[in-house]
Amino acid sequence: MSDLKSLIRLRRWELDEKRRILMDLNQLAMRLEAEKKHVEDDMAREHEESADVMESSPTFGAYVASAIARRKSLESSISQVAERIETAAEELRESFRELKKYEVAQDSRDTEARMETLREENKLMDEIATEGHRRKG
């Protein structure tokens, strides 16, 4: 039976790569959420400041329109990243299942090889014992 260790090593490497990709996507999602919160906080702060100063009222409308567009863009990016995270997570699960199949098969082969070695050792010991008994008699 062939050895699956190199294939297992390859699958582990692929699994690690998919974990890194998923981790990067999660970090990107967190950065986008933080940026969205920052935009919303800035809008709230600018709204409070513009209420105090009448001269800023004409420019506040343009700022709000720009901030709303930025927030919508971030929300769109967040939803796209969420979809990519879902896809990456499924790929990670599939990769893990593949790795486990190969590991279980290799474990089975290793166990069978150990059992065969034990059988051969027992057979050899039986022959030695039989020969020793024959020589005594």
Residues 6+ apart with CB under 8 A from 70: 39
Closest CA to 81 of 38, 34, 43: 34
User: What pLDDT is recorded for position 74?
Assistant: 96
Contact (Cβ atoms closer than 8 angstroms) between residue 1 and residue 109: yes
Q: Rounded to 5 degrees, what are φ and ψ at 53?
A: -115, 120
pTM of the model: 0.74
User: What pLDDT is recorded for position 44?
Assistant: 87
Contact (Cβ atoms closer than 8 angstroms) between residue 4 and residue 109: yes
pLDDT digits (tens, 9 = 90+) for 3-36: 889 999 999 999 999 999 999 999 999 999 999 9
Contact (Cβ atoms closer than 8 angstroms) between residue 17 and residue 115: no
Mean pLDDT for all residues in the chain: 90
**Helix 57-136 / helix 5-52 crossing angle, nearest 10 deg:** 160
pLDDT category of residue 104 using cuts at 50, 70 and 90: very high
User: What pLDDT is recorded for position 136?
Assistant: 86
pLDDT digits (tens, 9 = 90+) for 61-93: 788 889 999 999 999 999 999 999 999 999 999
Q: Compute the distance between CA of residue 68 and CA of residue 75 in angstroms, rounded to an integer.
A: 10
pLDDT digits (tens, 9 = 90+) for 109-123: 999 999 999 999 999
Q: Is 84 exposed, middle or buried (0-12, 13-18, 19+ CB in 10 A)?
A: middle
Closest CA to 16 of 91, 81, 126, 85: 91
